[in-house]
């Protein structure tokens, strides 16, 4: 394979800008820092009814730029039904395909639990994507185990890199606890409001809620605001979207970041939080449990249990931080953007992976 040939990055993601998610955009920059030419192709956008057919144009785009490999950011709600077809045709044409999957099959299949034929069809679709890709990459051992259980191959587990590593971290003056990231019912914001309001006013620091509503989550966001009791209205603050220029100041104020998710299989918000040296308290779902046991820098509470959350908050906030600068440096090394990209690039070039396992915290 010609290692100088361009890479086509296909980003099936519902964003209203240039069609690239933050994830895909950061990997494009990292690949270009590694000396590779990258052309991007948007394949999906909310409201476009013909998006699935764009996999045909992807074949033409790869030929036009002389690409020898295609990097695909895969999520089933956006990739569409023709992705397995595209992977098969690309393979027959000698085009190397690398699929990076963000969410575990169980994350999406949970929505189909009451419709058995649809669930079986979806799992068959995921198996077909993984089997036809030149390399199928996941971010967590949990995801790898699920794919193996489906009888589908996984080329390598490459962690979800820190996408927004701060150039400069301000000295921390911790005074708030924070919910950071898109607002959605699956992310359990309501649990935090219940936990905080189960104790007298002033028991916990001010809670700042940073993030815009996720797709279709506007009503849930209004429900959250209505949950705030009058005596807590100056203690629970909805700040809206956190722009890049405000992140250093917001993270410097954080004593603790909260991730009370009911389900998830990776979290860019968590990676960005530890990038700023802020510890976290997360639900003990498999992804967060694996992250905490492997990389540390945070604690867990029982999923979907507001009382457990309140108790852990009290315990953590009553003691000095137990996570030190060296702990966070370990995480930064494990989730380094350029290091993760170098591992991904070997698959794009058809080279065997480097088995750099993450060393667990002591």
CB 156 within 8 A of CB 352: no
CB 270 within 8 A of CB 163: no
Distance CA 103, CA 100 (A): 10
pLDDT average per 10 residues of sequence, the chain (362 residues): 81 58 87 94 61 83 94 84 94 95 86 87 94 94 91 92 85 93 95 98 97 92 98 97 92 97 88 95 94 95 98 96 94 94 94 65 44
Q: Which residues pair with 238 in a beta bridge?
A: 209
Q: Which residues pair with 282 in a beta bridge?
A: 259, 300
CATH class of 176-334: alpha beta
Please, is 358 exposed, middle or buried when counting C-beta atoms within 10 Å of its C-beta (0-12, 13-18, 19+)? Answer: middle
pLDDT of the residue at 359: 45
Sequence-separated (6 or more) residues with CB below 8 Å from residue 327:
296, 297, 361
SS3 of residue 305 by DSSP: coil
Distance CA 41, CA 55 (A): 10
CB 140 within 8 A of CB 358: no
Region(s) of the chain under CATH 3.40.50.2000? 7-161+336-348, 176-334
SS3 of residue 74 by DSSP: strand
DSSP H helix total and E strand total for the chain: 15, 12
Closest residue by Cα to residue 71 from 94, 38, 104:
38
pLDDT of the residue at 222: 97
Q: Where does 7-161+336-348 sit in CATH, by number?
A: 3.40.50.2000
Residue 148 phi/psi, 5° resolution?
A: -60, -40
H helices present in 110-217, as ranges: 116-132, 141-149, 189-197
The model scores a pTM over 0.95: no
What are the start-end ranges of the E strands in the chain?
A: 7-12, 38-44, 69-74, 96-101, 135-138, 156-157, 176-180, 206-210, 236-240, 254-259, 280-283, 298-301
For strands 206-210 and 236-240, give the pairing: parallel
């Amino acid at each position: 394979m010609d290692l100088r040939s361009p890479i086509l990055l296909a980003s099936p993601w519902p964003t209203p800008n240039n069609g690239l998610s933050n994830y895909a955009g950061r990997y494009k920059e990292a690949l270009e820092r590694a000396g590779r030419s990258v052309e991007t192709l948007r394949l999906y956008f909310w409201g476009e009814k013909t998006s699935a057919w764009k996999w045909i144009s992807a074949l033409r785009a790869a030929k036009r730029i002389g690409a020898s490999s295609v990097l695909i950011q895969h999520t089933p709600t956006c990739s569409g039904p023709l992705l397995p077809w595209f992977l098969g045709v690309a393979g027959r044409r000698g085009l190397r395909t690398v699929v990076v999957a963000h969410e575990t099959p169980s994350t999406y299949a949970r929505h189909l639990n009451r419709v058995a034929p649809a669930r079986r069809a979806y799992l068959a679709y995921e198996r077909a994507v993984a089997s036809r890709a030149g390399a199928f990459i996941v971010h967590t051992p949990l995801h790898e185990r699920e794919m193996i259980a489906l009888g589908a191959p996984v080329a390598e587990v490459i962690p979800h890199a820190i996408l927004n590593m701060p150039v400069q971290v301000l000295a921390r003056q911790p005074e708030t606890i924070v919910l950071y990231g898109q607002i959605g019912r699956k992310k359990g914001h309501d649990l935090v409001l219940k936990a905080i309001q189960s104790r007298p006013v002033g028991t916990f620091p001010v809670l700042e809620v940073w993030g815009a509503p996720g797709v279709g989550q506007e009503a849930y966001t209004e429900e959250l605001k209505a949950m705030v009791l009058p005596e807590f209205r100056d203690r629970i603050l909805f700040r809206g979207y956190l722009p890049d220029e405000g992140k250093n100041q917001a993270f410097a104020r954080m004593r603790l970041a909260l991730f009370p998710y009911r389900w998830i299989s990776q979290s860019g918000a968590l990676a960005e939080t530890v990038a700023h040296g802020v510890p976290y308290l997360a639900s003990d779902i498999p992804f967060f449990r694996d992250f905490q046991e492997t990389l540390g820098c945070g604690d867990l509470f029982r999923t979907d249990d507001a009382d457990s959350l309140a108790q852990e908050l009290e315990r953590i906030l009553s003691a000095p931080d137990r996570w030190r600068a060296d702990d966070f440096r370990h995480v930064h090394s494990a989730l380094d953007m350029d290091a993760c990209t170098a591992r991904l690039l070997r698959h794009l070039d058809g080279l065997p992976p480097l088995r750099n396992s993450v060393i667990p915290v002591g």
